[in-house]
Amino acid sequence: MPSTSTYTNGTNGHTDGHVVPTKQAPQSSLPPTSSVPQKFLSNPKELGITLVGFSGGQAKPGTDAGPTVLTDAGLLTQLSDDLGYTLRGDDTVRDFNNLSSERFKSNDPPVRGMKNPRSVSAVTEQISELVYTQAREGRLALTLGGDHSIAIGTVSGVARAIRERYPDREHNKIAVIWVDAHADINTPETSDSGNIHGMPVSFLTGLATSNEPGIFDWLRDEHRISIHKLVYIGLRDVDMGEKRILRENGIKAFSMHDIDRHGIGKVMDSALEYIGSETPIHLSFDVDALDPMWAPSTGTPVRGGLTLREGDFICEAVAETGQCVGVDLVEVNPQLVEGGVGDTVRAGVSLVRCALGDTLL
Ligand SMILES: NC(=[NH2+])NCCC[C@H](N)C(=O)O
Ligand SMILES: [Mn+2]
Ligand SMILES: [Mn+2]
C-alpha cells in the first residue's frame, strides 16, 4: 500500500467483538483534540502510522499480534473520529515475523550471543525506512509493536528525518524518553538473555556497534541518538551490566524509587527540563512500565510499576510540550494472560490517546 494512503472512517470499529456504530464524521472536520502548537511538525493533523507485527527480539510468541489487538479495539478509528487526525502510512499490520522467517529460514544463528541477529537487523532496517518516510513529511510517527527491538527502527528513522528536516538548526538531534521497567541498554556482551529487545538503546546510542555484514551494519551516524539526550522513566529491573553503563555514561534515569519520592509531576518537570524546550522528542513506551495490575499481557512483567494514571500523565506531559515527533507503544502480548488481553489493550489505547493530546484541554 502506498505510504500516502488515507484511512476510511469506521473500518476498525470493533470493540470487544461488538461493532460500534460508525460515526461518519468527515476526517478533516474536527481539529486534533489538542490545540498545543507543534514546534517540529509541519503536518500536525496527520499521523504516520506503522503497524509492526514482529516478536523476534525475544522468545515468547504473541507480541507480533500487539498491533492487531490494539487496532481491533478501535484505536485507529478513535484517532481519526475522536481526535481528528488524518491517518497516513499503512493500516495493515506488516507480518515481519513471516517476512524474516521466509528470508532466513533457520539460518540465523547467534552472533556475539544475540538471538536472531540477521532477522532483527533486517526488520528494523525496514522499519527505520518506513518511519523515516512518515517523519520526513513532518508528521508525528506513531508505531505500534511488536517487541521493543523495533525501536532500533523507529528511533533511527525519526532521528534521521529530523536531521534532514532541520539541516541548519543547532538543535536537530532528537531526545528520547524511554518509559520502561527495563533499561534495554545491554550490549551483546553484557546481555544474559541474548534477546535483542534488551539491547535497542545500546545500538541506538552507538554504545554497541557491529560491522558484521547484515547485522546492524546499516546503522549510521544519522540514525543515532546522543546518550545525553536520553531519559528513562519507570525503571525497576535493570541488569548489573546495564547499571554500570548508566552510571559510567551519566545517563539520566528516573526509577520507580524516584517517582515514589518526588511524584510523577516533579519527575516529568525534571525530565523535560533536562531535554530543554528546543529539542524534538521521541517517546518510546514499553507497556511493561505499567504495573502488571494494569498491563498484565506482556512478556517481561515486573511488579511495582506505574499506575495507568501515571503512565497517562507521562504521555500527556510529553504531548503538552508540542515537541513530540514520534511515539512507540510496544510489548503488548495478547497470548500471555489467560483472562484475556482486555486490560492491557485498554491501557495501551489510553496511553496512545494521551500521547496524542486527547486529554489536554
Ligand atoms: N523490552 C523489554 N521488555 N526488555 C526486557 C529486557 C530484559 C533483560 N534486561 C534482557 O536483557 O533480556
Ligand atoms: Mn520492558
Ligand atoms: Mn523495553
pLDDT single digits (tens) 266-298: 999 999 999 999 999 999 999 999 999 999 999
**331 catalytic per annotation:** yes
Q: Tell me, what's the pLDDT at 212?
A: 96
The grid coordinates listed for 228 are 545525553
Q: Tell me, what's the pLDDT at 20?
A: 43
Mean pLDDT computed over 44-69: 98
- Closest of 143, 174, 186 to residue 54, by C-alpha: 143
Asked whether the predicted pLDDT for residue 201 surpasses 90, the reply is yes
Q: Tell me, what's the pLDDT at 18?
A: 41
For residue 283, report the distance from its CA to the centre of ligand 1, in Å. 18
Cβ-proximal residues to 248 (8 Å cutoff; 6+ apart), any chain = none
Mean pLDDT computed over 79-97: 97
Q: What is the pTM of this model?
A: 0.92
For residue 126, report the distance from its CA to the centre of ligand 2, in Å. 23
Ligand 1, CB within 6 Å, residue ranges: 148, 182, 184, 186, 191, 193, 195, 197-198, 239, 286, 288, 299-300, 331
For residue 198, report the distance from its CA to the centre of ligand 1, in Å. 4
| Percent with pLDDT over 90 in the chain | 87
Mean pLDDT computed over 251-267: 98
Catalytic one of 90, 125, 197, 316: 197
**197 catalytic per annotation:** yes
Backbone angles phi, psi at 234, to 5 degrees: 100, 5
| Percent with pLDDT over 70 in the chain | 91
Q: Where are the alpha helices (DSSP H) in the chain?
A: 66-72, 75-77, 96-104, 117-136, 151-165, 200-205, 240-248, 256-275, 308-321, 342-355
Atom nearest to 238 CA in ligand 1: 9
pLDDT digits (tens, 9 = 90+) for 3-30: 333 333 333 333 343 444 444 444 544 5
- Closest of 137, 157, 50 to residue 94, by C-alpha: 50
Q: Tell me, what's the pLDDT at 16?
A: 40
Q: How many helices (H) and strands (E) does the chain have?
A: 10, 11
- ipTM exceeding cut-off 0.95 for this assembly: yes
Cα 265-266-271 angle, rounded to 5 deg: 100
Asked whether the predicted pLDDT for residue 210 surpasses 70, the reply is yes
Exposure of 25 by Cβ count < 10 A (0-12 exposed, 13-18 middle, 19+ buried)?
middle
**Residues 257, 238: Cα–Cα separation, whole Å:** 13
Catalytic one of 182, 291, 310, 316: 182
Ligand 1 atom 7 nearest Cα: 198
Catalytic one of 125, 184, 237, 312: 184
Asked whether the predicted pLDDT for residue 312 surpasses 80, the reply is yes
Mean pLDDT computed over 324-345: 94
Q: Tell me, what's the pLDDT at 10?
A: 33
Mean pLDDT computed over 99-120: 95
Q: Which domains does the chain have, with CATH numbers?
A: 11-355 (3.40.800.10)
Q: Tell me, what's the pLDDT at 34?
A: 63
**286 catalytic per annotation:** yes
pLDDT digits (tens, 9 = 90+) for 133-166: 999 999 999 999 999 999 999 999 999 999 999 9
pLDDT band per the 50, 70, 90 thresholds, residue 169:
confident
Instruction: Collapse the DSSP code of 173 into the 3-class scheme (helix H, G, I; strand E, B; otherwise coil) and give the result.
Output: coil
pLDDT band per the 50, 70, 90 thresholds, residue 45:
very high
